[in-house]
Chain A
Amino acid sequence: CRSKPATARIPWRPALSFSSSPFVIFLHFLYKIMAVHGPLVKIHPVVLASIVDSYERRNEGASRVIGTLLGTADKHSVEVTNCFSVPHNESEDEVAVDMEFAKNMYELHKKVSPSEVIIGWYATGYDITEHSVLIHEYYSREAPNPIHMTVDTALQSNKMNIRAYVSSQMGVPGKTVGVMFTPLTIKYIYYDTERIGVDLLQRTRASPSRTNGLTTDLAQVASAAGRVQEMLSTMLSYIEDVLSGKVMADNSVGRYLMDLVNKVPKITAEDFESMLNSNINDLLMVTYLANLTQAQIALNEKLVVL
C-alpha cells in the first residue's frame, strides 16, 4: 500500500533538455501547454467495464469497437460517467458508423439521466488511425471539443493502457491543415459506493475460477480489520527503517504520522468503559427486540393457521 496520499497521475511531461534543437524545444513547449490547458479527464470505472464488455462481444472480424462517451463537462475537467457502443464497419479504405443508432441511443439515455451529454467517443486498440480522425470529426459536430479515449484491450504493452486525447488543428494556416491529438491526464474517480463495489470485486482476481460470493457480515468486519492491520504493519516497518537509518526520513510523512497519533482520542478508562457499556446495551436491547418481534409474528402465523 502507498504511504503518500497524493493522487496518482499518468505523467506526461517529457523532460526538457536544453541541448536539443529549437524545433524540438518548441514542440516540447507546445506539448507542455497542451497538457496544462487540456481538460482533466475523470473516468468512472463503470465506463471502462462497459467498454471491455462491448469489446468482448464484438462482431466476427471486427478488430475494434467504438462508442459514445457521455458525461458532464466543466471549465477544467470532463467527467465521463456513461457510455454505449455504436456499431460500425471498418475496412482498409473506408469506415461506416451507424449514426442513426448513436442518436437513438443518446435519446434513450437522456430519458434516464437528462444531465448527461455527449462529451466524446472511445475506441479500443492502441493507435489512432486515419479512420479515427474521420470519426472524431463527426463527433465534433455533436459536442464542443470532444475527447477521444483509447482502451488498449489487445494489451500490447502487457497492460490495459487507457489514454484520452483532444484534437487540435495543426499546420500552417492557408495550406493543408492536419489534426493533432494531444494527450490528456486521466484520473479515476469513484462514488463512495462504487469504490466499495470495486474493492469487493478486486477479490475475483484472486480466485482461480474468477468468481466471488458476497460474504457475511461479521466476516466483512474481520476482513476490514485485517486490512487496517496490514496498513499499520506497513507503516511500522517504514518507521523501523527510518529509525535504523535505512530510509531517508520524509517530513510530510512524519507530519501525517503525527496527525494520526493525535487523532486517537484521549479518554479516561472509566469514561470509555461507560461509553462502551451504554453502546453495547443499546445494541443488545435492539437485538432482543428484533428477536421478540420475530417470535411474535411466527406465533401469530401459527395461531391463524389453527
Chain B
Amino acid sequence: MDSGLSPQDKKDLDKFIKFFALKTVQVIVQARLGEKICTRSSSSPTGSDWFNLAIKDIPEVTHEAKKALAGQLPGIGRSMCVEISLKTSEGDSMELETWCLEMNEKCDKDIKVSYTVYNRLSVLLKSLLAITRVTPAYKLSRKQGHDYVILYRIYFGEVQLSGLGEGFQTVRVGVVGTPVGTITLSCAYRINLAFMSNRQFERSAPIMGIIVDHFVDPPCSSQRANMGHPCNYRAPDEEDGYAGVQDSQEVCTTSFSTSPPSQLYASRLSYHHPAQTGAAELCHPAANQGLHAGKDHGGVVLVPQPPHGADAHLTVEHAANTPGSSGGDDGLTHSGERRRDEGSSVSPSDPVESLNAFTRKIGAFVNKSNTPITAASLDLPFAAFAPRGLDSEENDPMVQPPDSPPCPSPLQASLHSQGSEGSGQQDDFVMVDFRPAFSKDDLLPMDLGTFYREFQNPPQLASLSLHISSQSMADDLDSLPEKLAVYEKNIDEFDAFVDMLQ
C-alpha cells in the first residue's frame, strides 16, 4: 500500500485524511443546525485553518467524530458516515440523509501529496459546503424548532442506507485520488419527504397570531445545540435529556379542519392517543381510560395523559356542551395540544383560558364525517405522514353548496349568504380548498387564505338573526301607515317643538 510513498508523505497523507474527515463532519452538522453560517476570510494565514477554509470546530461534534473514528482512519472498507435524521415532537423519527466518506482501491501513485492532494481536498470541502445547502434536508433543518428537530449520528464501518426508504437518491460531492486510494464523498438522501416538507411541516406552524405559547415556556433555544447529542438516535430512552421543552402547540381551530394539514395534525393526535378515539368517547369521559375531568369549566375537560415514551403531554379537549354544537365532537375539535417535560405540573387555568379564546370557533364547526378517517389512521404507522385523500370533496360546500333556506325578504337572503352554517348546519365542513385571489394559501402560515377563513365566519349578531329581523321588518312595514296618521294628527305639537329649539 505504501509503495513509492515516503514516510513523510504517508504521515502527511494520514493527517490530511484525518482532518478532512473531521472537517467534513463539522460542515455537515453545521449545515443542519438551522442557522446561516458565516465565517470570515483572513489574508494572513493563522496556521490552524485546515485546507485554507474557515470552518469552525464545534467541540461536541469533534468529540463525537473522534469517538466514532476511535483512532482509525477512513479506509478501504471502513467508511465514515454521518446520518441526519428528523425527530418530531411526538417521538417519531425518520432518516433523511446519509453522508459517506469512503475510500476505494484505485490509487493515484503520481500525485503529490502535500500539494495537489491538499488542494483537491480543499476544493472538495468547498463542494461539500455548496451541496449541503442543496439537498432537501437543508430546508427542513432551517425550519426546525417547534415541531421537529434534526439529529445527527456518526458511525464508522459499513454504510447503512436502508433507513432512507425506497427510491432514495444519491449525489456525489467529489473524489480525490491519493497514492493509497481514492477518497469519495457522497450523499444519499430520502426523496419522499420532499412532498411532506411542503405540506406538513410548513403548514403546521402556528397560524394567524393565535400562538398558544403565551402560557408556557418558549421552546428551549438550546434545541439547536442539541444536535450535539447523536446519542438520542441510538438510545430513544434518553429523550428526556436533550429536548428541553418541546412545544407542539397547535391552534387546531376547526375552521381549518377541512384542509389537509390540520386534518393531518388531528389524525396525528388521534394516532398518538389511542385511548381517545372517535366522537363518542369524548362525550363519555368516564369510559375512556386516561381521561379524567380535572376541572369542569363550561364543558372543558382537562386531560393529563400518562407519560408516553418519556414525554408527558397535556391534551386539552372541548367536550360536547358548547353552544351550537350537537355533540358531534371528535378528535378534530381539539383546540390545542401541549407537551411538557415529565414531572412539570400543569395549571388548569391555562388551557381553559386558551380554550375560551377559541370557543366561538369550536361551536360553529363541528365535524362528524371525518371520524372514519381518524379511526382508520390509527391502523397505519406514521399515519400522520400519509398523504391526505381527496375524499373531502364530497363534503365540500364549495363544490356542492348546501341548500339555502327559503328567504321571505331580500334582506334575509343577503344576511344568509355568508353564514351558511346557521343553526342546524353545523355538521358540514365550512370550507375546503378556499383559494383567495392573489395568494397561495398552503405555504405560508399567515397569509390571505388563512385570514379569510379566520374572519369570514364570525357569529351572527343577535339583532341580525333571521327571525327577529324578518319580524321587525314586517312589523315596521305594516305599522307605517298608522304611524304616519299619528304624526299628521300631532303636526302642531311638532311645530311648537321645533320653534322651541330655535
Question: Are A and B associated in one complex?
Answer: no
A interface list, Cβ under 8 A from B: none
